[in-house]
Amino acid sequence: MKSILIEIGELSYFAGRFFREVGKRPFEYKEFLRQCYNMGNRSLLLVGITGFIIGLVFTLQSRPTLQEFGAVSWMPSMVGISIIREIGPIITALICAGRIGSGIGAELGSMRVTEQIDAMEVSGTNPFKYLVVTRILATTLMLPILVVLSDAIALYGSYLVENLKGDVSFQLYFNEVFGSLEFGDIIPSTVKSFFFGFAIGVVGCFKGYTCGKGTEGVGRAANAAVVYTSMVLFILDFLAVLVSDIFYDL
């Protein structure tokens, strides 16, 4: 219990250091853009395929139940609200936690193990600013974009199933989707995506940056980054629902 509390304290200190460093010069634009490309563009295929399959499967699974009630026309509304509000952000964040979080943990961990971070400090470069701030900023900004793209692809997948099984046009389907959505759906989900991205970056960087000695520590750091990030994501999601419930009457 004590170790968990110590871990949480160290993580909070690590996050606080990020906020202190983020406003200080020099800004590592090139590294930031490189990380954005790695985390955003290179995750798009995986996120896109996952979103598309989720749209297909979700519609295929829900359709028979809705058919029993004669409510197939509610499918776009149901899928739209489910994906935009919850499934899109959380699934995308979990995939990014697996791909990006573990990648950051492993990369920074190996740099720590091979003393590259120490070498950067010796050479006068701020490794926290160069390695951590850029990665956390990149995950924070890229994840919402990945969520938006993933939502769009998932809705398109759902539309394909509806079009094949039923007889609904593209325009009608998306009119139904956006007709059922409100700002209370899209704004909280977008805002929490920033927090999810931040959590992935912070936990991944923390685990890699504070990696133990040896190759075993690198593997443990990568694994812990994924596990802790996933847990933090669910906690954040719960808090996001509570907060949005206060601001928007859901």
Partner 1 sequence: MKTHDKTAGEKLKLGIFVIAGLVLFIIGVYLIGNQQSMFGSTIRLYASFQNINGLKTGNNVRFSGLNIGTVKSISMLNDSIIVVGMAIDQKSSHHIHTGATAAISTDGLVGNMIINIIAGKNGGTAIAEGDTLLSFRKLSTDEMLSTLNVTNENAAMLTADLLKITRAINAGEGPFSTLIKDKAAAEDISLTLRNIHQTSAAALRIMQHTDQLILSLNDKNGLAGLAKDSLTANHIRSVAVNLDKTSAHLNEVVADLQSTINEIRHGKGTLNYLVNDTTLAIKVDTTMGKLDLTLDQLHQAGIKLNENLEALKHNFLFRGYFKKLEKEKAKK
- Interacting residue ranges for partner 1, rule: CB under 8 A: 30, 33-34, 36-37, 40-41, 44, 84, 144-146, 148-149, 151-152, 174, 178-179, 181-186, 190, 249
| Sign of the dihedral through C-alpha 21, 102, 44, 78 | negative
Q: At what angle do helices 214-247 and 102-113 cross, to 10 degrees?
A: 140
Beta carbon of residue 89, minimum distance to partner 1 (angstroms, whole number): 13
Nearer to partner 1, 73 or 215 (CB): 73
Least distance CB 248 / partner 1 (angstroms): 9
CB of 108 to partner 1, least distance (A): 21
Nearer to partner 1, 151 or 211 (CB): 151
Q: How far apart are CA 163 and CA 140, in angstroms?
A: 35
Contact residues for 174 (Cβ-Cβ < 8 A; gap 6+): 76, 155, 159
Q: How far is the CB of 173 from partner 1 (least distance, A)?
A: 13
Dihedral sign computed on CA atoms, order 1, 199, 88, 237: positive
C-beta closer to partner 1: residue 116 or 190? 190
Q: How far is the CB of 174 from partner 1 (least distance, A)?
A: 8
Question: Are the C-beta atoms of 81 and 185 separated by less than 8 Å?
Answer: yes
For 89, counting Cβ atoms within 10 Å of its Cβ (0-12 exposed, 13-18 middle, 19+ buried), the class is buried
Q: How far is the CB of 97 from partner 1 (least distance, A)?
A: 19
Q: Which is nearer to partner 1, 181 or 227 (CB)?
A: 181
Which of 89/109 has CB closer to partner 1?
89
Nearest to 43 by CA among 186, 197, 155: 197
By C-beta, is 4 or 69 nearer to partner 1? 69
Helices (H), 86-182: 88-96, 102-113, 116-122, 127, 134-165, 170-180
